[in-house]
Amino acid sequence: MLVENNTVVAVHYHGYFLDTKEVFDSSLEREPLTFLVGHGQMIPGFEAEVLGAEMGEKRTFTLEPERAYGHREEERVMAMPIGDFPEEIEIGMTFQAEVQGQPMPFEIITINEETVDCDFNHPMAGKTLTFDVEIVSIRVAGEEEISHGHVHGDGGHHH
Ligand code: ZN
C-alpha cells in the first residue's frame, strides 16, 4: 500500500533549516504525526512529497515558502494602541487576538510610544523548511473520516 489521497498516514519527521541545521520541530520524542492525506491537514508541499511512498520509506525534501507557510506580508503587521496591552510587554512576546470568533496569534515586533506593532504572519512564513520523514504506517481512511476531513482514533479525533 502506498501513500495516496484518502489514506491515513503516520510519519515520524524531523524539520530543520538546511543552512543552519537548526531543528524547528521533530516528532522523534513523541508519537508519530497522523494525518488524512488530501484534505488540507498539512502544508501543501509536505503532502505532495510523501505521495507514493511505501511503509518504512524515508524521504528528505526541502520546501520553499510557497509550498510551506507562504511568504511574509507586511499588511499582516498592525499597530495597536499600547493601552490595550499589559504594562510589562516585551518584543517577541506572543498574544492571541480574536477576530470574528477565530483565534489569531500574533507577535510583538516593535514597541512605540503610543502603539505596538503586532505581527500576524505565521511564525514560519517566509522560511524554507527541510524535513526528514519516515512513513510509519498507512491505512485506508474510513468513510466517516473522509467526510469529516480528519483522522479518527489513534493520533486523531475521538468523538
Ligand atoms: Zn470526525
Q: What is the pLDDT of residue 155?
A: 86
Condensed to tens digits (0 to 9), the pLDDT of residues 27-64 reads 988 999 999 999 999 999 999 999 999 999 999 999 99
CATH number, domain of 105, equals 2.40.10.330
Is 20 within 8 Å of 13 (Cβ atoms)?
Answer: no
Structural domain including 114 reads 74-119
Check whether residue 65 and residue 18 sit in a common domain.
Answer: yes
H or E stretch covering 77: strand 77-81
* Rounded distance from Cα 42 to ligand 1 centre (Å): 17
Q: What is the DSSP string of 69-119?
A: T----GGGEEEEEGGGS-TT--TT-EEEEEETTEEEEEEEEEE-SSEEEEE
**Distance from Cα 156 to the centre of ligand 1, integer Å:** 8
Q: How far is the CA of 18 from the centre of ligand 1 (A)?
A: 36
- Which cell numbers hold the place of 103? 483565534
pTM, two decimals, is: 0.84
Length of the chain, in residues: 159
- Asked whether residue 87 falls in the same domain as residue 133, the answer is no
Residue 21 placed within a domain: yes
> How many Å lie between the centroid of ligand 1 and the Cα of residue 1?
24
